[in-house]
Amino acid sequence: MSVAPVENIASLNTDLFYDILKRLDGPTLASAACTCAAFCSISKEERLWEDVCSSMWPSTNREDVKSLISSIGGFRKFYADCFPLIVNKEVTDYQWNDYLEYPEEWTEAEYYGDMDEFESISPSDFVSIVDIRYKDKIICSKVLWGIPNANGFNGWFYNCPFRIDLLTYAARDDDDDGEAFLSVANGLPPITSMETERKDGKLWRGLRDGLRLSWIVVNRKMKQAANLASWSPIGGQRHWPTDKDFVIRFGSILPARDILPCQVVECILSMKFRVICTEGEGVETTLKLTELSMQLEDMEGSHVNGRNSLLILKEALSCRRSKNYSEVLESCNLYSKVQNELKEEKMRNESRLDRLCILSGIAAFVSFCYYVL
């Protein structure tokens, strides 16, 4: 059998090009679009990017989510917005002395910002699209429309700490019962008892190395989206708050310039698993996802209120991003380093103040005794 020679790539059938490109993942498809005019033209097909998004984020398979993505610019734009992760390296610009001056230098009007700008932000404009993977297998997909308990400008939401408990509210809109489990069938390391796990930490390492989280926030009015997760875990706690609980933490560093005096905040995405079964008597090791939440914290570790959180989320949708995961980790590590330095400086200042108070007390006591005697 002879094969007909191909003079140039442009002479090939367009359907063949499409069949080639639809087998690629997002980064490869974007690279292929730069190789020739034919690939560039075909790579603009929305169907290709819909398949890419569906593979990367299974929650985008829902019809309501597809309509949402189409309304904000299509799947190609959605992928370009959400595949790169948020990077913020401006943390080192802020010093503890500047941060301490906040109560005196910031008026109430400055702290709460421009009211006209805030009134243009509605909690109902935000949509959370969340996917959890373990060893490249999807274990949970959730979509939350709006921000729960945020109705009414004078409501408690705007002045109380911001927090979204996804499992509590997203389950109301889903067809399933909202529960997610991990077991040996998913590739989870088996454990015979919690005592053994405390010694070797095999289950903890398996969770930390295998879990991946994507938490995409979309603003329908602004027609923008961003992935607030770090994809891989950046921290966590084992056996907390109980012996059978494991907390895995993801997140990103978000800009808060002109919103909060600390200028940057940490978006903390917490995932908690509980061991419900260990190996033995025909039962395999099984974990249940019991918590999936988002909250924002400032440099001192204080929770940001609902009002400022909405402003920060709005700014996050247009901040710098990177496809380089090492940059994302560097951004988080920089924040943690500066935060620890600030805490140490605060402790030193408090220690100096304590010593000053003690010395003042001793001096006052000695003076009192001198005059009495």
Map 55-99 to HEC letters.
HHCHHHHCHHHHHHHHHCCCHHHHHHHHCCEECCCHHHHCCHHHH
Whole-angstrom distance, CA of residue 229 vs CA of residue 357: 45
Strand-pair category, 85-86 with 235-238? unpaired
Query: Per residue of the chain (373 residues), what is the pLDDT tens digit?
Result: 444 454 555 555 677 878 888 888 888 888 888 888 888 888 888 999 999 999 999 999 999 999 999 999 999 999 999 999 998 877 755 554 444 444 444 454 444 444 455 557 888 899 999 999 999 899 999 999 998 877 655 567 888 899 999 988 765 555 555 688 988 888 888 888 888 888 888 999 999 999 999 999 999 999 999 999 999 999 899 888 888 999 999 999 999 888 888 889 999 999 999 998 887 656 788 999 999 999 999 888 889 998 899 999 999 998 889 888 888 888 888 888 888 888 888 888 888 888 888 888 888 888 888 887 6
Q: Which two tokens stand for residue 290?
A: 């019991």
Q: Which two tokens stand for residue 307?
A: 């009002």
pLDDT at position 281 is: 55
Whole-angstrom distance, CA of residue 258 vs CA of residue 110: 8
- Is residue 193 helix, strand or coil? coil
149 by Cβ neighbours in 10 Å (0-12 / 13-18 / 19+) ranks as: middle
pTM assigned to the model: 0.83
112 by Cβ neighbours in 10 Å (0-12 / 13-18 / 19+) ranks as: middle
Nearest by Cα to 260 from 218, 222, 297, 219: 297
In Å, what is the CA distance from 357 to each residue of 50, 100, 101, 152, 364?
Answer: 65, 20, 22, 46, 10
The alpha-carbon radius of gyration of the chain (Å, integer) is 26
Whole-angstrom distance, CA of residue 96 vs CA of residue 349: 11
pLDDT at position 102 is: 44
Q: Which two tokens stand for residue 160?
A: 């109380």
- Is residue 130 helix, strand or coil? strand
- Cβ(210)–Cβ(233) below 8 Å: no
pLDDT at position 96 is: 46
Burial of 344-353, coded b for 16+ CB within 10 Å and e otherwise, reads eeeeeeeeee
SS3 content of the chain, % helix, strand, coil (to 5): 45, 25, 30
Strand ranges for the chain from DSSP E = 85-86, 126-134, 137-145, 163-165, 181-183, 211-219, 224-227, 235-238, 245-255, 264-277, 286-297, 321-322
3-state secondary structure 301-355: CCECEHHHHHHHHHHHCCCCEECCHHHHHHHHHHHHHHHHHHHHHHHHHHHHHHH
pLDDT at position 104 is: 45
